[in-house]
Amino acid sequence: MDLGFLIVALLMCVNGVRGSIHEYRNEGFIPQSNDSNAFFFHGGSEGLYASKLLHSSISQDTGNNNNPTLKGKSFIRFETVTFVRTEESASKQPEMQQNTGLVEAIILEVKDRKRIGGSFLNSNLICCNPRLADAGSCKLGEVIIQKNKDNPDWPKRIKTFFAGNNRETKVDTLDVEINSTGMYYLYFMFCDPNLKGTLIKGRTVWRNPDGYLPGKMAPLMTFYGFMSLAYLVLGLLWFLRFVQFWRDITQLHYHITAVIALGMCEMAVWYFEYVNFNSTGRRPMGITLWAVTFSSVKKTLSRLLLLVVSMGYGVVKPTLGGLTSRVLLLGAVYFFATEALELVEHLGNINDFSGKTKLFWVLPVAFLDSCFILWIFSSLSRTLEKLQVRRNTAKLELYRKFTNSLAASVLLSIAWIGFELYFNATDPLSELWQIAWIIPAFWILLAYFLLVVICILWAPSRNPTRYAYLEETGDDFDEEGISLTSGALVSGDVAGKLERKGLSAGLGEDLEEDKRE
């Protein structure tokens, strides 16, 4: 049954899910691939923590996390869950008969998956057959369940019968309290082939002791709060430095400022999105859309910043020349690909189980990230080569430090991707859901680390021309140069030397060189 349960989980249908409120919109049951006549519908799967207050009454108010009766409670609530069978199926049943069809709701913790079906009876059956019923192992027409001796109420079975020739039947509104921390699955199943074509509608509400956030998402709310503070600290330090040397600011400093500001907004919006989600059980569409957009814009600008810095923009060349249009095109394509992936991930199915449809959106983003990496390192190689030829010690040392930091981040990324693949391959049923939050958190921390490195290396200073672009003059003062800002002043001695060397002609030659690159 272990393999069968895995197949069922992998083939589960995509429900309309909005956070921890799992909605079912006239969706059908899927036949099990064996001779047991079992049909199933995946009603949701989430990591749930045990209630802090056990065996207490639970309020029916699902929209107010501040309700004191909800504090410390963990439960799965059935609300308006209704089964609708076909007219043909209903017409075959006698009008006066009380029970004419059974649909079962099965709630189980993933570690008890082998208790569903006949695996403990050396059988691959899901539904009880006459032979097993005669042996007293199960009841005919029901799903085979072996109860846990340590907790005889689990796995949980909730029966709902059709009456007479009625087409609809409704699950009683009830709450299933969670008293043990684990990954929980909900399946609706029936064994009667006459119910083929039955649809399900309604919703279930899943809640953790501290709110409606799914278990593996809950730690991310705290993480986003800390990252908001981290970006705020970085932004304040950068702003103080920015104001202190505002007369010496180059164009590159404005790009760095924009990335820091976007990072602050991104983390803050995600934090408030998670707080709202935790309070209501639904993802707020407007806030989520803003968070997704901030995230996509920030990721795009961060990669563009790495790329233009690697090209030597503002250090060995004043402009990108003919490469500007290509850089902007790659950035635009990356933004739309990332935005699509984020929308699918955060506005679609919100189960603690990854859908295979996400892979379709991941591949374009992964390909574009590879393009960025290749372009960044090839540009760094040319920039380092140019600085070595010009024997510019200060700039060469700057780019060596940047290259080492970038190489270290790439190696960490490759190692982490390997760990992520191993993690997902060895945990297909999300049994390690309590530590799964570290996977997205790593990428956020890595991006923050790279931004801090750039801020340190390119921090505003009293000598902004030390690392700024300077047309080579052939003299010994190559550490000096022209600020990229239009209002920057050049000392009289340097200005005179540049004029005598023919600045205009030198700029033209450098631009031609950029176009050839």
pLDDT for residue 316: 67
More confident residue, 216 or 32: 216
**Which residue, 181, 207, 233, sits at the end of a domain?**
207
Host domain of residue 118: 17-52+72-207
Q: Does the residue 453 lie in any domain?
A: yes
Q: Does the residue 354 lie in any domain?
A: yes
Least confident stretch, 191-195, 262-266, 440-444, 459-463: 459-463
pLDDT for residue 204: 94
Provide CB contacts within 8 A for 42, sequence distance 6+.
8, 9, 12, 13, 15, 185, 186, 187
Averaged pLDDT, 387-394: 76
Q: Tokens for 45?
A: 């799967």
**Per residue in 289-307, pLDDT tens?**
888 898 899 999 989 988 9
**Which residue, 207, 242, 269, sits at the end of a domain?**
207
Claim to verify: residue 321 and residue 446 sit in the same structural domain? yes
Claim to verify: residue 262 and residue 159 sit in the same structural domain? no
Q: Which of 287, 199, 268 is nearest to 229 (CA)?
A: 268
**Per residue in 86-132, pLDDT tens?**
999 999 888 888 888 999 999 999 888 888 887 655 567 888 888 88
Residue 32: HSE in the Cβ half-sphere, 13 Å Cα cutoff: 29
Domain total in the chain: 2
Q: Tokens for 472?
A: 């080579």
pLDDT for residue 13: 33
Averaged pLDDT, 263-283: 90
Longest C-alpha distance within the chain, in Å? 108
More confident residue, 7 or 396: 396
Whether 169 shows a pLDDT value over 50: the answer reads: yes
8: amino acid identity, one letter: V
Claim to verify: residue 268 and residue 177 sit in the same structural domain? no
Claim to verify: residue 303 and residue 201 sit in the same structural domain? no
Q: Does the residue 507 lie in any domain?
A: no
Provide CB contacts within 8 A for 487, sequence distance 6+.
none
pLDDT for residue 463: 61
Q: How many CB atoms lie within 10 A of CB 219?
A: 16
Provide CB contacts within 8 A for 356, sequence distance 6+.
10
Claim to verify: residue 397 and residue 352 sit in the same structural domain? yes
Q: Which of 170, 166, 46 is nearest to 103 (CA)?
A: 170
Claim to verify: residue 228 and residue 168 sit in the same structural domain? no
Whether 267 shows a pLDDT value over 90: the answer reads: yes
Claim to verify: residue 253 and residue 177 sit in the same structural domain? no
Q: Are 354 and 432 in contact (CB under 8 A)?
A: no
Q: Does the residue 11 lie in any domain?
A: no
Claim to verify: residue 344 and residue 429 sit in the same structural domain? yes
**CATH number, position 372:** 1.20.1070.10
pTM score, two decimals? 0.76
**Which residue, 207, 230, 262, sits at the end of a domain?**
207
How confident is the prediction for the chain on average, in pLDDT? 79
Claim to verify: residue 282 and residue 168 sit in the same structural domain? no
More confident residue, 137 or 9: 137
Claim to verify: residue 314 and residue 449 sit in the same structural domain? yes
Claim to verify: residue 197 and residue 261 sit in the same structural domain? no
Q: Does the residue 473 lie in any domain?
A: no
Give the confidence band of 230 by pLDDT, cuts at 50, 70, 90.
Answer: very high
Averaged pLDDT, 311-316: 72
Claim to verify: residue 125 and residue 253 sit in the same structural domain? no
Percent of the chain with pLDDT over 90: 34
**Per residue in 196-205, pLDDT tens?**
999 999 999 9
Q: Does the residue 62 lie in any domain?
A: no
Provide CB contacts within 8 A for 140, sequence distance 6+.
128, 129, 130, 133
Q: Which of 226, 258, 231, 227 is nearest to 242 (CA)?
A: 258
Q: Does the residue 397 lie in any domain?
A: yes
Cα(37)–Cα(31) distance, integer angstroms: 7
Q: Does the residue 489 lie in any domain?
A: no
Whether 391 shows a pLDDT value over 90: the answer reads: no
Most confidently predicted of 8-12, 50-54, 57-61, 229-233: 229-233
